[in-house]
Structure 1
Amino acid sequence: MTESALLEGTPQPQPGPQKIGLLRGLFWAARPRQWVKNILVVAAPAAAGELFSHHALTQVALCFVLFTACAIAVYLINDARDADADRAHPVKRHRPIAAGQVPVPVAYVVGAALAVVAPATAAVLCSPPTSALLMAYLGMQLAYCVSLKHVLVVDLVVVTTGFLMRAMIGGVALGIPLSRWFLITTGFGALFMVAAKRYSEAVQMAGKTGATRALLTEYTTGYLRFVWQLAAGVAVLAYCLWALEEGGLPPTGMLPWRQLSMVAFILAVLRYAVFADRGTAGEPEEVVLRDRPLALIGGAWLGMYALEVADW
């Protein structure tokens, strides 16, 4: 019997399903639900009223893709480092890398490739400052994965700075000057949500062991409550000072949209604080997307802010 005949009767390996399983695992290891955070890249161009030109939209879309690629690189490398510990965790053991759907070496290779390609692409298609911001984000987040997430207060600052960088990058790519009010409001607004998330995690895991991040045991709920309340107050104050500053008066016959937007902004902070106070703000994206009153308030704020920008 010829070799070809023997091969015809022998089951051949089917790499297709294996590859599909690996790709599916990589997709879920990239945490697609977290990508909504990167919509913040529109913040600076929108605040400056420069979002809707073709060039601006193209640059902002590119910034979203590149920042998402950097975030995925961090997720993959972090989960690859923590694979052994995650396998002992009741929830994290289902993550694709810990569960064995994505081999650890593959996660490292894909993460490293994204970490190199994204800043390089930004340098060519956006600007050198945009590339530098992405590299700073990657360096900070990788340092967080290795050691900074175990340092009190510094962990809050690093996560908050990651949100601030998301909000800055659109302006950096388009060469838009970033105002002090924008930076203060965005920075402390991010700290408010980060501290509220930590507070909610601490409340929900009180009295439990081995089911949460170790650093939470070093914080007290009173301290985390103080941080999110302080951050909320500073964010509201900065926004109000911006809305009331000189030069913010509307043209004759137009409503003072800038000043009126303070009401919606304050209501949004107060509404979110309800969930923070209950200890149910552990997943900020879930709160923002699922709470209808908060969505309506946010829509009203966006509408008033858009009318203010249109008046410019």
Structure 2
Amino acid sequence: MIGGIIATARPRQWIKNLLVLAAPLASGDLSDVGALLAVGVAFVAFCLCASSIYLLNDSLDIEADRAHPKKRFRPIAAGEVPIAAAWASFVVLLVAGVALGFVVNVLLGLVLLVYCVVQIAYCFWLKHIAVLDIAVVSSGFLLRAVAGGAAAGIALSQWFLLVAIFGSLLMVAGKRYGEIVSDHEAAATRRSLKHYTPSYLRFIWQSAAAIVVIVYSLWTFEGEVAAGGDQRLAITIVPFVLAIFRYCQHIDSGDAEAPEEIAAHDRLLQVLAAVWLIVLFLCLYLP
């Protein structure tokens, strides 16, 4: 049963929680050890909260999962984890995650609390409403980025928030697009997908991709002004845009329904992301 609970908690999805590092990195100040430790705690807290939501979601979707050719093997649907144990684990992980956030500071605790409330509403109701389901899932990525700033005590710029918002929208709209064009089982069991068309979702993810590139570029130009004309940040636009293009290639092919799998297995995307991070780090931290 313990193994089933761990599997339901989706530890492979914890890679998403690395977004808490985005704000400290973009701020240009990674020298504060205390702030970095706080961000590390925020990462753990988000892992606990996100895992609790997976346990709740699978408990509520047990009948639908049993009718799905792939999801019927999930531990709760397969009967490996009793419903009572899943609910108990949900409560324990959620309380532990939110409490851990409040230990760091009140703002982080509130961000985690908002995340949990919104995601619980998603599990019970919002996931069945078209457009709102995309907005709620996107907000989860955004709140991870906001949590990093809250933990480190960093004021987030409007450019950072816009990149986070439209980057999140790109991933979620791409995920739904992949589900509707490639994953016919998901299209049959997820009610909100019945209200989408491939062309509508394509419009959303293409718009989000264009906006995130524009906003990121504007952020680098603003950084140049703040740095007294230092144009190095503009170099990061190249690997950033190429990485976005590469990810859009996956979306267009209909295989972006699992963003974490793309991040884990696409070597070219990993190289582009690494180059972008290295160049960004050098631009922000070298005099």
**TM-score, normalized by the shorter chain, greater than 0.5:** yes
- Which residue matches 1:128? 106
Deviations 1:176-202 (A, max 9, x none): 000000000111011011101110111
- Which residue matches 1:10? none
Which one of the candidate residues 230, 237, 245 is aligned to 2:222? Answer: 245
Which one of the candidate residues 144, 159, 170 is aligned to 2:122? Answer: 144
Alpha-carbon distance change, 209 to 189 in structure 1, aligned in 2, over 3 angstroms: closer
CA contact (8 A) 1:192 1:227 kept: yes
- Which residue matches 2:181? 203
Which one of the candidate residues 71, 87, 95 is aligned to 2:74? Answer: 95
Kindly indicate whether structure 1 or structure 2 has the higher relative contact order, using CA contacts under 8 Å at least 6 residues apart: 2
> Whose radius of gyration is greater, 1 or 2?
1
**Are 2:237 and 1:259 aligned?**
no
CA contact (8 A) 2:115 2:140 kept: yes
- Which residue matches 1:49? 28
Compute the displacement of 1:145 (Å). 0.4
Partner Cα distance (1:33, 1:23) in 2: 16
One-letter amino acid matched to 2:63 = D
- Which residue matches 2:255? 280
Compute the displacement of 1:117 (Å). 2.3
- Which residue matches 1:176? 154
TM-score normalised over the length of structure 2: 0.95
C-alpha RMSD of matched pairs (Å): 1.8
Which one of the candidate residues 218, 230, 235 is aligned to 2:195? Answer: 218
Partner Cα distance (2:19, 2:162) in 1: 15
**Partner secondary structure for residue 245 of structure 1:** helix
Compute the displacement of 1:151 (Å). 0.8
- Which residue matches 1:85? 64
Partner Cα distance (2:216, 2:284) in 1: 15
Deviations 1:62-90 (A, max 9, x none): 11110010001111111111112212221
CA contact (8 A) 2:233 2:280 kept: yes
- Which residue matches 1:76? 55
- Which residue matches 2:42? 63
Alpha-carbon distance change, 62 to 209 in structure 1, aligned in 2, over 3 angstroms: closer
**Partner secondary structure for residue 282 of structure 1:** coil
Structure 2: which 5+ runs fail to align? Answer: none
**Partner secondary structure for residue 154 of structure 2:** coil
Which one of the candidate residues 96, 99, 112 is aligned to 1:117? Answer: 96
Partner Cα distance (1:261, 1:283) in 2: 26
Deviations 1:81-103 (A, max 9, x none): 11122122211111111111111
Which one of the candidate residues 303, 307, 311 is aligned to 2:278? Answer: 303
- Which residue matches 2:206? 229
CA contact (8 A) 2:23 2:146 kept: yes
Alpha-carbon distance change, 209 to 290 in structure 1, aligned in 2, over 3 angstroms: closer
Compute the displacement of 1:241 (Å). 0.7
One-letter amino acid matched to 1:258 = L
One-letter amino acid matched to 2:260 = E
One-letter amino acid matched to 2:141 = F
CA contact (8 A) 1:86 1:92 kept: yes
Partner Cα distance (1:28, 1:205) in 2: 22
**Are 2:167 and 1:193 aligned?**
no
Compute the displacement of 1:249 (Å). 6.9
Deviations 1:193-223 (A, max 9, x none): 11011101111145x6875422212100000
Alpha-carbon distance change, 187 to 209 in structure 1, aligned in 2, over 3 angstroms: closer
**Partner secondary structure for residue 89 of structure 1:** coil
One-letter amino acid matched to 2:181 = V
Compute the displacement of 1:116 (Å). 1.8
Compute the displacement of 1:243 (Å). 1.0
Structure 1: which 5+ runs fail to align? Answer: 1-21
